[in-house]
Structure 1
Amino acid sequence: MEGDVDKQRKLILQGQLSDATMQKQHQRNYNRWLCRARAEDLSDIAALKALYQTGVDMCGRTVMVLVGRNIPVTLIDMEKALLYFIHVMDHITVKEYVMVYFHTLTGEHNHLDSEFLKKLHEIVDTKFKNNLRAFYFVHPSFRSKVSTWFFTTFSVSGMKQKVHHVETLQQLFTCILPEQIDIPPFVLEYDARET
């Protein structure tokens, strides 16, 4: 039965496939993506400096930074971006971690659409979701707050309580000390101007 994909999908839709079988299928799918991520040249995506590891938060958890302005969605291969995310995050997510997303000065060409985010959420291993303790959304716009609310309410409801909108860097520093996070200069300048 493992080889008959159509039969498995039909059973899933009918609710007859066990959770264990579905988890095994999900793990196999993730492992295929991980193998591709390890094999492919992702240096062009790495050069964007949109995703990187920095220090630790107040609880000693690894801090990962995602810089929205550095993601030119309309100019890059988003599948390669997904592969890069998996490649970088796979070894981080084996233990608890937090993510800081700088939405600062992002434009239309930097916004990840909900379809991409849903695909990311469906593909990543359960350790990504289970070990994520907080997602700090720094300098959110009204539109991004609304989009995040809809996305975490209707698409990935398990994430909702982990998302924290952070208006200023001072708020962020109550969770992560300034010396524990590498903040892009334009974010520092924006925060100094706005606060």
Structure 2
Amino acid sequence: MPPTPLFSYQVPWDFTADRPVIGWDGKMAELTWVDFGEDEELSMESKLDLVSPDEPDAPDSAKEGNTSLATNSIGNESGNVCDAAPLNSTLDLSHPFYDIARHRILEVAGEDHYGRRVIVYSCCRMPPIHELNHHRLLQYLKYTLDQYVESDYSLIYFHHGLTTANRPSTSWLRGAYKDFDRRYRKNLKALYVVHPSGFIKTLWKVFSSLISRKFSKKIVYVTCLDELRDHLKDIWLDIPVEVQRYDRQLKKRLAGKEGSTIKKTPPPRPPLPHQQFGLSLAVLKEKSNGENIPLVLKQTVTYLKLKGLKTEGLFRRSATTQVVQEVQQRFNLGKPVNFDEYKGVHVAAVILKVFLRELPQPLLTFNLHPCILALSCVESSLRVTRIKEILNALSGVNYIVLKYLMCFLNTVAQQSIQNRMTAHNLAVVFGPNITWSQDQVQSLHTFVPVNIFTELCIDFYDSIFRNHTESGEILP
């Protein structure tokens, strides 16, 4: 006689361990039969996730452990593979959560196309339970999110690598969800769950009484990294090697299945005659008959100076995908753009950030990025002088555009009583959009010197920029 079917909303509970019998990694060792009812997609996916790293038949990548790999785009590898489970060697020992942060479980990946800060959580970087204080982990999560929750943000959750050895208890999960109150959930615009197991989807149903319908709509299940690229476009992520290898294995597994959602990336298209996004400043200058300030930058700054200086939370709100793409398309086709037609200020602010982020090389160039990171080692009283020295190496159109931008941001900061955008808040927003490393990998520790540099450029604009002029420069 077959066992009694277990439907999707019924999960056997281990009251001793205070967690479901099914493992976080999708194992069903203690469950003889799961009937997912009419949820065929969930049933199929659960069968793909029965292997976990602690089983003898697990993929080689899981056995090799965790590796750190710089990625130059979502799902593409470059650089050298390091030793297993690399720690953050550049993290300051005085960091209040050094014991947790050094594992690089949580990383900040800059902003997506729509102006949202993107934060990444990698399960495969979680050490075994006996090596990680989960109460401290929760405190660290809140400590990190507290820096960004006042603005729109997104979370990427890499599920692969969560096993019986490192998974937290379900009581911890329930407590964590309750601790992350409305302040954290309100501005979370998307939660991307990458490589979800069938169990993860079942768990959401079990906890449906705790999770609001509004929050549930923010959850996006992502089958593979190619799919994540479709959602996040050109954002750069430090994706663990283990996750990338698992993704390749998953693609092979799904390749022969009908209706596979795995997509091939189309070849890049040649730029349009009036293209504005994704081109270098030198090319844009040539296309505009020698104009140093690109059209998008000039038009957004002009509009924001006229209508946005007193808008509370300027540069902290995101815009919808459809609107951003439509505005970009109009610029790229050489058509006029009236921001009043798109609810104005916040769309113009996002377009400005998108333009800077899509430059092939950052405004401050790759060469100056190491100098900027070293700024945090300079004595506070000498930092402005050091910034002047750094900017002496920046000439031509890059310097002119930077000076134009900083002049505008200084004007915005002067209205901070109304718009709440101090030099510090503006630096948090614009720092990652004007400088990044050539391998594009960013983490929490790199944002500190970048933000210091940007904040000082805004606060001490006159001291830094007034005595350095370039031929053909203009100011907003």
- TM-score normalised by length of structure 2: 0.31
The aligned runs of 1:77-156 (5 Å cut-off) are 77-151=133-207, 153-156=208-211
Q: Any unmatched runs of 5+ in structure 2?
A: 1-93, 252-476
Q: Does 1:170 align with 2:226?
A: yes
Partner of 2:243: 187
Task: State which structure, 1 or 2, has the greater radius of gyration over its C-alpha atoms.
Answer: 2
Q: Does 1:54 align with 2:109?
A: yes
Alignment partners' CA distance in 1, 2:211 and 2:128: 22
Alignment partners' CA distance in 2, 1:123 and 1:132: 15
Structure 1 residues 107-147: Cα deviation after superposition (integer angstroms, max 9, x where no partner): 12333333222222222342211000110000011112211
Alignment partners' CA distance in 2, 1:140 and 1:111: 15
Alignment partners' CA distance in 1, 2:101 and 2:209: 31
Alignment partners' CA distance in 2, 1:188 and 1:178: 17
Alignment partners' CA distance in 2, 1:97 and 1:111: 25
Q: CA RMSD in A?
A: 2.0
CA gap 1:99/1:140 in 2 versus in 1, 3 angstroms: same
The answer to whether the 8 Å contact 2:125/2:161 transfers is no
Moved over 4 A (4+): none
Could you tell which deviates more after superposition, 68-77 or 135-144?
Answer: 68-77
CA gap 1:141/1:148 in 2 versus in 1, 3 angstroms: same
CA gap 1:179/1:101 in 2 versus in 1, 3 angstroms: same
The residue type equivalent to 1:112 in the other structure is P
The aligned runs of 1:35-54 (5 Å cut-off) are 41-54=96-109
Which structure carries more relative contact order (alpha carbon 8 Å, separation 6+)? Answer: 1
**Secondary structure in 2 matching 1:110:** coil
CA gap 1:47/1:97 in 2 versus in 1, 3 angstroms: same
The structure where helix makes up a greater share of residues is 1
Alignment partners' CA distance in 2, 1:110 and 1:177: 31
Q: Any unmatched runs of 5+ in structure 1?
A: 1-38
Alignment partners' CA distance in 1, 2:211 and 2:205: 10
Alignment partners' CA distance in 1, 2:173 and 2:180: 11
The residue type equivalent to 2:210 in the other structure is S
**Secondary structure in 1 matching 2:245:** helix
Aligned residues: 156
Structure 1 residues 44-99: Cα deviation after superposition (integer angstroms, max 9, x where no partner): 11111111100322312111000112223622211111111111110111100000
Partner of 1:12: none
Could you tell which deviates more after superposition, 47-56 or 67-76?
Answer: 67-76
Alignment partners' CA distance in 2, 1:148 and 1:73: 24
Displacement after TM superposition at 1:178 (Å): 4.7
The structure where strand makes up a greater share of residues is 1
**Secondary structure in 1 matching 2:149:** helix
**Secondary structure in 2 matching 1:133:** strand
The answer to whether the 8 Å contact 2:112/2:235 transfers is no
Percent identity between matched residues is 27
**Secondary structure in 2 matching 1:94:** coil
Alignment partners' CA distance in 1, 2:172 and 2:231: 29
Alignment partners' CA distance in 2, 1:70 and 1:46: 11
